[in-house]
Amino acid sequence: MSTRGTPALLTLRRVLLDLVFPPRCISCHHPGEWFCSECRSHVHHIAPPICRRCGQPLSDGTCAQCRRMPLHLDGLRAVAFFEDPLRQIIHRFKYESRPELGRSLACLLDEYLIENPLPVDVIVPVPLHPQRERARGFNQSLILARELASRKNLPLWYNVIERCRLTQPQVDLNLPARFENVRGAFQVVGDVQERRILLVDDVCTTGATLDACGLALKESGACSVWGLALARGR
């Protein structure tokens, strides 16, 4: 397992925690949910028209960046821009070890796919390097992917791809350096032949990490690979 405890134990832990500390909205502190419907209505969703490859807002076709340097992914999509209140929730989820928030966040991924279906039949989370996962205690992408797979009734394949090299944090790098930094950082260790894969991550900026995973999966025979992130930078 890549998280601490089995899914059943994690669910039990969540139920107990909710009893002791009833949920309050992370953003507005209203009791009832971790991310209340009022705050959810303020999420800045990314809706079509978008670049058909990278998913950035665009009036028609493929953007200049994708024409110059096409992604290996069949397409990259994000639910919303990385702005408050969504940014606050993702930060708590990720950096303050709040895996229970993953359920509210996966709900956004689910709603996005209902509105914008993608041709996929397997869900794969972007892996963390084992050293980073030990430090954080969980892989945020796995939590999102697991919740999404259960909502969509699709198989979750969390061990078909590994991060075999510890990379520098992408945040410190410019665009070409981000693609260079993650090149060859992933290794496929399962059979993905002929599969149509949906890669799930929490936040993307250039899409370099998702793209490096996509390339590795395609080189191992995946038939198509789409990337889906909760949020992306502008």
Looking at beta carbons only, is 63 or 107 nearer to Zn ion? 63
Which residues ranging from 61 to 90 are in contact with Zn ion (CB under 5 A)? 63, 66
Rounded Cα distance between 132 and 138, Å, is 9
Binding segment toward Zn ion, per CB under 5 A, in 36-44, 99-107, 109-117, 160-168: 36-44
Minimum separation from the CB atom of position 28 to Zn ion (A): 3
- Residue 226 pairs in a beta bridge with 75, 198
The Cα 105–Cα 122 span in angstroms is 19
**Shortest reach from residue 87's CB to Zn ion, in Å:** 14
* Under 8 Å between Cβ of 53 and 62: yes
Cβ partners under 8 Å of residue 163, min gap 6: 127, 128, 129, 130, 185, 186, 187
Contacting residue, 3, 53, 93, 161, with Zn ion by CB under 5 A: 53
Cβ 68 to Zn ion shortest distance, Å: 10
Q: Which is nearer to Zn ion, 105 or 145 (CB)?
A: 105
Instruction: Output the smallest distance, CB 189 to Zn ion, in A.
Output: 30
Which ranges constitute the DSSP H helices of the chain? 7-20, 37-40, 64-68, 86-95, 102-115, 130-136, 140-152, 175-182, 208-219
Q: Is the C-alpha dihedral spanning 149, 151, 154, 155 positive or negative?
A: positive
Of 10, 43, 50, 54, the residue at the interface with Zn ion (CB under 5 A) is 54
The rounded distance, in Å, linking the Cα atoms of 212 and 181 is 10
DSSP-assigned states of every residue in 154-219: --B--SSEEE-S----GGGS-HHHHHHHHTT-EEE-S--TT-EEEEEEEEESSSHHHHHHHHHHHH
Question: Binding of Zn ion at residue 28 (CB under 5 A)?
Answer: yes
Tell me whether residue 42 or residue 134 sits nearer to Zn ion (CB atom).
42
Which stretch in 44-52, 158-166, 178-186, 199-207 sits in contact with Zn ion by CB under 5 A? Answer: 44-52
- Determine the distance from the C-alpha atom of residue 50 to the mean position of all C-alpha atoms in its chain, rounded to a whole number: 19
From 55-63, 107-115, 166-174, 181-189, give the range in contact with Zn ion by CB under 5 A.
55-63
Could you tell me the smallest distance in angstroms from the CB atom of residue 160 to Zn ion? 27
Residue 25 binds Zn ion (CB under 5 A):
yes
Q: How many residues bind Zn ion (CB under 5 A)?
A: 11
Q: Which of 3, 10, 34, 39 binds Zn ion (CB under 5 A)?
A: 39
Q: Smaller CB distance to Zn ion: residue 25 or 198?
A: 25
Interface residues with Zn ion (CB under 5 A) are 25, 27-28, 30, 36, 39, 51, 53-54, 63, 66
